[in-house]
Chain A
Amino acid sequence: EVQLVESGGGLVQPGGSLRLSCAASGFTFNSHWMHWVRQAPGKGLVWVSYINTDGTNTRYADSVKGRFTISRDNAKNTLYLQMNSLRAEDTAVYYCARGGAGAVDYWGLGTLVTVSS
């Protein structure tokens, strides 16, 4: 069974940093692209970032470019999102999601990030 378990969310002040982690299991992690997608409270889904299977290619939404960094450790079956210079508008549930079937096919339960003073 595919499982994606996010951690690392919490309350942080504007300008602060957080590092999210996503532990993957139940599939061959190093064979799949991975993504982060976020959802502000009561709002829709917004794609944040992508990383390819070996970590050599990454892409970001314009809203986070230069502030967020996606990475992966295939030996540990773990995906990361380093978030710096956080803003109030980054407040959201952050989902780790797997790329597959030409779509984003499995999603974690999410971790809440709240940026507030």
Chain B
Amino acid sequence: DIVMIQTPLSSPVTLGQPASISCRTSQSLAHSDGNTYLSWLQQRPGQPPRLLIYKISNRFSGVPDRFSGSGAGTDFTLKISRVEAEDVGVYYCTQATQFPYTFGQGTKLEIK
């Protein structure tokens, strides 16, 4: 199974400041079809997960452009350019390159 390690596990951020979350995987997420199926989810308190970014860097429908994704191979990053109060929650990286799908442990974003 592909192991996904997120850092940090907790990220206190000042409103309006940037935030960054790293996700490293135990093997390359590059699929034989040429795509890399790494995505990022946001889970606000008491809510189900919501897709933010798919295939490394594509913002999903309705996701603000302050969210961006980057990376390749085994090393990926989610960035929030200016954190807003509604961004509080837990962020997960996840891979759909091979079964079983796996998730990172989650990074809790909180406001300082």
Q: Interface residues, chain A, CB within 8 Å of chain B? A: 35, 37, 44-47, 50, 59, 61-62, 95, 99, 101-110
Q: Across the two chains, which residue of chain A brings its CB closest to B51?
A: A105
Are B94 and A104 neighbours in the complex by a CB distance under 8 Å? yes
Q: B105: which A residues are within 8 A, CB to CB?
A: 44
Within residues 34 to 57 of chain B, which ones have a CB less than 8 A from any CB in chain A? 35, 37, 39, 41, 43, 48-51, 54-55
Contact in complex: B99, A50 (CB < 8 Å): yes
Question: What residue in chain B is nearest A95 (Cβ atoms)?
Answer: B48
Query: Chain B residues near A47 (CB, 8 Å)?
Result: 100-103
Interface secondary structure of A, over-half rule: strand
Min CB–CB distance B98 → chain A (angstroms): 10
B39 nearest in chain A by CB position: A103
Give Cα A61–Cα B94 distance, bound, in whole angstroms: 15
Are B51's CB and A106's CB within 8 A?
yes
**Total number of B residues with any Cβ neighbor in A under 8 Å:** 24
On whether the beta carbons of A104 and B51 are closer than 8 Å, the reply is: yes
Q: Which 10 A-B pairs have the closest CB atoms?
A: A103-B39, A47-B101, A103-B54, A107-B48, A45-B103, A101-B54, A59-B99, A105-B51, A102-B37, A44-B106
Residues in A neighbouring B55, C-beta threshold 8 A: 101-103
B49 touches A107 (CB 8 A): yes
* Nearest Cβ on chain B to A48's Cβ, whole angstroms: 9
| Bound CA span A101–B96, Å | 10
Take A35-B101, A59-B99, A61-B100 as given contacts and tell me if A105 and B60 are in contact as well, using a CB distance cutoff of 8 Å.
yes
